[in-house]
Amino acid sequence: MRRLAAAEAEHNVRILLAVESGSRAWGFASPNSDFDVRFIYAHESDWYLAVDLEERRDVIEYEIVDDIDLNGWDVRKALRLFRRSNPAFVEWIQSPILYRSHGGFAQGARELLPTVYSCENGIYHYRSMAKTNYRGYLKAEMVPLKKYFYVLRPLLAVRWLERYGTAAPIEFDKMLHLLEGETELLDAIAVLLEKKKAAPEMGLSEPVPCLNRFIEAELARLDRPDVVRDRSIDVNTELNRLFHATLAEQR
């Protein structure tokens, strides 16, 4: 909280939303996991009335200190990325661990989520994330425990998108019901989750055959060509309304 306040003072901004975005929010943190703090901030409204607006820096970043990884996006940048269903922003506004919230920005963004979010884009992102982590980390003799969850969580997110047609929740346990009836998988995940929570961040394990079979089957099922595109509907009006309302609160 002190570092968030210091960031506001250093950059003369107001933090609109600050959340936990990593494994602590997902529900499978290790004892020594970093705190992945992400925030959205706004300058005073006149800052945006500038000829050189596009050249102005729209991120705030700090080096990791004392296990706190702290960085944020300007509100205009965040809303432009939201328009493209940016997965990081979509997860931030749904994080169950809230550090700071100011004004109506966060609630306004959550209310727009059903209108703005593209399930097509989400499926593409989560499928790619699962494929990259599986091929890069889970085919060795000893594998990082956390990487199983970097594959399983996105695969379950895809199932959520396919079934419900809404943005997937950030918490891993909220999606486990999508494996209902698959007892062997659920038991293996429960055992792995306990190991993950007790092991160091880079703890290793032997591969889990039933999980690998599930992952390979899901990736094969999802391995189809598709095109990711922006939403066909015009969401700019609603996003501009939220942007203007947020800036009005900064006056």
- Same domain for 129 and 53: no
Q: Is residue 249 classed as helix, strand or coil in its secondary structure?
A: helix
- Answer yes or no: do 21 and 66 share one domain: yes
**Mean pLDDT score of the chain:** 93
Q: What is the pLDDT of residue 59?
A: 98
User: DSSP 3-state assignment of 208?
Assistant: coil
| 135 plus 211 within the same structural domain | yes
Instruction: Check whether 232 has a pLDDT greater than 60.
Output: no
15 and 112 fall within a common domain: yes
5-26 tens-digit pLDDT = 999 999 999 999 999 999 999 9
Q: Find the mean pLDDT for residues 84-109.
A: 97
- If asked whether residues 125 and 45 sit together in one domain, one would say no
Strand order in the sheet with 35-42: 59-61, 68-74, 35-42, 14-20, 98-101
Within this chain, do residues 17 and 62 fall inside the same structural domain, yes or no?
yes
Q: What is the C-alpha to C-alpha distance for residues 180 and 163, in angstroms, rounded to an integer?
A: 13
Assign 68 to helix, strand or coil: strand
Give yes or no for a contact between 197 and 29, defined as CB atoms under 8 angstroms apart.
yes
DSSP state of 214: H
End-to-end CA distance of the chain: 23
Mean pLDDT across 172-198: 94
Return the closest-CA partner of residue 249 out of 110, 73, 41, 49. 41
Amino acid of residue 184: E
Check whether residue 84 and residue 7 sit in a common domain. Answer: yes
| Three-state SS at 15 | strand
At 98, which CATH number? 3.30.460
Please give the C-alpha separations between residue 183 and each of 66, 175, 186, 188, in angstroms, as whole numbers.
40, 15, 5, 8
State the virtual CA torsion across 115, 119, 124, 126 in degrees, nearest 10. Answer: 100
Q: Is the pLDDT of residue 241 over 90?
A: yes
175 with 215, same domain?
Answer: yes
- For residue 69, what are the β-bridge partners? 36
Q: Are both 128 and 207 inside the same structural domain?
A: yes
Q: How confident is the model at residue 226 (pLDDT cuts 50, 70, 90)?
A: low
In three state form, how does the secondary structure of 120-143 look? HHHHHHHHHHHHHHHHHHCCCCCE
Q: Do 104 and 127 sit in the same domain of this protein?
A: no
Return the number of other C-beta atoms located less than 10 Å from residue 176's C-beta.
17
Structural domain range at position 79? 2-117+230-249
What's the domain count of the chain? 2
Helix, strand, coil percentages, rounded to 5, for the chain:
55, 15, 30
pLDDT of residue 205: 85
Predicted TM-score of the model (pTM): 0.91
Paired tokens of 209: 């055959």
- Whether the per-residue pLDDT at 233 is higher than 80: the answer is no
